[in-house]
Amino acid sequence: YTQMNSVSLIAIAMFILAGGIMERGRIAEKLIDLVDVFVGHIRGGLGVVGIISCAIFGSICGAACATLSCIGAIMFPRFKAGGYPMGHACALMANASLLGLLIPPNATLIIFAWISGISVLAAFLATIGPGIVTIILLSVVNLWMLRNDKNVLVKQKRSGKERADMFMKRGRLAIPALFMPVMVLGGIYGGIMTTTEASALAVVYCIPIGIFVYKGLNWKTLFGIVVEGSITTGVIMIMLYSVSMLSRLYILEDLPGKVLTLFYSISSNPYIIMLMINVFLVLMGMLMDDISVVVLTTPILLPIVATLGVNPVHYAAIVGVNTALGCITPPCAPVLYLSGRVGGASINEIMKPALTFMFLCWIPVLAVTAYIPRVSLFLPHIVLGIPW
């Protein structure tokens, strides 16, 4: 009971509720229209619009499936009208929707911080570096894959004045949506408010925006969102209560020590051990959702990575990238199947471009995150003074 009586856990319920409100509050369309001003006129630019929109919406929503459903519902008709291969479009949106697992805030990092005992803010900061690298790689690979596809339509390039006018017009409509992540993340990183206070403020801000500004919500819909959020939060709290007991059992049975002995029986090289940990996390991510992976593996693996000299904050970023990669790794790949269902493409059409994104984007990001700690620790070091 003492462990569960934590103020920081309230943030989970609040961010889930805020994400549900923003998902149905017609925010996505305004974000997409704004991003389209900058990159919509280049070949493959519509894909970059989808990537950046998923990153922004994911930072508000924090859930891959909700991001994919909301952004995808708007983007897939545009991809089809623009001549994009739907297999490529579905694979791209599936990969981009996972940016919500890296760009804070999200419930997975809050739970990791609670289990590991690190600051929630530190966990949030650790995944921003890998998230930015992923956005860049996804955009570059998308443009490279479509560079010679003549079926992809290219919009007529607008003059600087036309783009400026369009930016001002669409920017005014998107300001309420864009202000929410700025307010929440700025408040947390600036030390103005705690994560829990920021999550509550997000809910208070989202309700009038969704009802009165974008008019995508009504009081009946809001009640349904609250009920759904309460059910999800209840499930997570039961999982966390179970993991607190499971952690004690792990300690009594010395399970981390036994797993470490098993790893050392294969190799004593810390780089090889880290590789085995990454493979294990990806396999777990293929079979379970991100929260389940964090809940079940952190009590076992955190003591092991500590013996390798890995900072727990650095490990937060490693877990975030691995769980995202697991969601799109065949044969399970739940996000790929959802994307195909939303976009109307078969899994056979999606698989080739999805594997291309996986090998050219996610695996390099995972390697950089795991073996170059500064990528994930530079912001925690600057803001919180956490050592490299």
Q: What is the pLDDT of residues 68-99, one digit of tens each?
A: 887 888 889 889 988 999 999 999 999 999 99
Angle, CA 51 vertex, CA 233 and CA 294 arms, to 5°: 35
| Residue type present at position 33 | D
Structure tokens at 122: 């530190």
Please state, as a whole number, how many other Cβ atoms lie within 10 Å of the Cβ of residue 51. 26
Residue 257 vs residue 125, higher pLDDT: 125
Tell me which range, 62-66, 116-120, 199-203, 368-372, is most confidently predicted by mean pLDDT: 368-372
Please give the pLDDT value at position 91: 95
Please give the pLDDT value at position 3: 60
CA 62 to the chain's CA centroid: 6
Q: What is the pLDDT of residues 133-168, one digit of tens each?
A: 999 999 999 999 998 888 888 777 777 778 788 888
Please give the pLDDT value at position 355: 93
Please give the pLDDT value at position 1: 57
Is the per-residue pLDDT at 262 higher than 80? yes
Share of the chain above pLDDT 90, in %: 31
Please give the pLDDT value at position 123: 92
Please give the pLDDT value at position 125: 92
Name the residue among 210, 313, 317, 303 with its Cα closest to residue 250: 303
Please give the pLDDT value at position 271: 92
* Residue 327 half-sphere exposure toward CB, CA atoms < 13 A: 29
Q: Is 239 exposed, middle or buried, given 0-12, 13-18 or 19+ CB atoms closer than 10 A?
A: middle
Cβ atoms of 345 and 87 within 8 Å: the answer is yes
Domain boundaries in the chain? 7-384
